[in-house]
Amino acid sequence: MATVRTESVLILGGGLMGLALAHKLALHGRSVEVLSRRRNEAAGFVAAGMLAPHAEGLSGEQLRLGQLSLDLIPSWVNQIETDSGLCCGLRQCGIVVPFATAAQRDLYPTACLGESLDRSGLEREVPGIGPSWQAGLLFSQDGQIDNRRRLMRALETACVSLGVHFQEGVEVHDILQDGHTFIGVRMRNAEGEVHTLTSQKAVLCCGAWSAQLLPALAIVPVKGQMLSLQGPRDSLKRIVFGPGTYLVPREDGLLVVGATSEPEAGFMEGLTPFGQQQLQAGINTLLPEASQWPPMERWWGFRPCTPDGGPLLGRSSVDGLWLATGHHRNGVLLAAITAELIEANISGKGITAEQIQVLEAFQWNRFKTKI
């Protein structure tokens, strides 16, 4: 079996986390090589692109991490747009969370961080909202980015412009160690040849598939099905985040509708009538007029989920191998802070006390039992 040596930091996984990391490391002068299996399985292409720590009702360390990332996003996007020459479709459009009653609204974990709405406030923010919603919360600090059509392409272009090297269509079979130290990977390249690629440093960003490479990681797939509709431009200015269904309006009127949550599906691919009916029912109750809009696309993907729903960040059990995975429902939101934290962790230079504290909160071995 042939052995190829590289001085580059290996990025295992070419999804959003892998690209964000590759971009950040390259900006800091590192040589970077991304190993990517299949572009379209990346959760970064599948997600709706909500930037929603408040609308998602996060709490504790996860809320803090989400807020830190939300603050970083404008400058992160600006850098990507500068390096790529492409627009990422970032919009601080605000998110409305509707409730059947005011009592339910007031119990929401992030209620004190949003503006309380009664029925007339809901109608003002979401004209045409269904009649079953009597109260709401407006999180004007939350927003969206056009991950599927713009951000992923812009990040790839930015990486290429900074000299990041990509290997597409490759599968990493094993992580190779000398004792507890990372020494490389055994992989199959796009031509089907199996070989060893040696390196001193790598970051594992394999999303839902991460435990296939490091079985000690507590990550399972949670399938999500989605669809999109073409609405009239400017028909909806806010995102609507209902229970089980959300509506994300893009600038051109495309309405991205998500998402089922199917832990029992494992890695079962494909759409199901039941999943699609669930989304349709959500559309009917949230915004009845949208059920008349023409359907555009339907798709599915796999969220990487940990026992507490938070990511696994920082050092792994293998020296020289870092983790940036397990972002569950919040990968797009958390890409900016993840790239910043892991770059600081790898370089060790200038890492702040706050960054060390955040990394400690999201260590891979914080769970008592594996799921």
- N-terminal to C-terminal alpha carbon distance within the chain: 36
Q: Is residue 329 close enough to count as binding ligand GLY by CB under 6 A?
A: yes
Q: Is residue 50 close enough to count as binding ligand GLY by CB under 6 A?
A: yes
Q: Is residue 223 close enough to count as binding ligand GLY by CB under 6 A?
A: no
Least Cβ distance, residue 266 to ligand GLY (angstroms): 17
Least Cβ distance, residue 307 to ligand GLY (angstroms): 17
Q: Is residue 148 close enough to count as binding ligand GLY by CB under 6 A?
A: no
Residue carrying the six token digits 């970051």: 203
Q: Is residue 224 close enough to count as binding ligand GLY by CB under 6 A?
A: yes
348 CB contacts (<8 Å, ≥6 apart)? none
Least Cβ distance, residue 8 to ligand GLY (angstroms): 31
Residue pair 144/48 in contact by the 8 Å Cβ criterion = yes
Q: Is residue 54 close enough to count as binding ligand GLY by CB under 6 A?
A: no
356 CB contacts (<8 Å, ≥6 apart)? none
Helix (H, G, I), strand (E, B) or coil at 164: coil
Q: Is residue 66 close enough to count as binding ligand GLY by CB under 6 A?
A: no
Interaction mask 272-311, ligand GLY, x per CB under 6 A: -------------------------------x--------
Our separate counts of H helices and E strands in the chain read 10, 20
Q: Is residue 259 close enough to count as binding ligand GLY by CB under 6 A?
A: yes
Least Cβ distance, residue 148 to ligand GLY (angstroms): 13
Q: Rounded distance, CA 301 to CA 224, Å?
A: 5
What residue type is assigned to position 74 of the chain? P
Least Cβ distance, residue 239 to ligand GLY (angstroms): 11
Question: How big is the CA angle at 276 (ends 274 and 282), to the nearest 5 degrees?
Answer: 105
By CB under 6 A, name the binding residues for ligand GLY: 47, 50, 224, 258-259, 303, 329
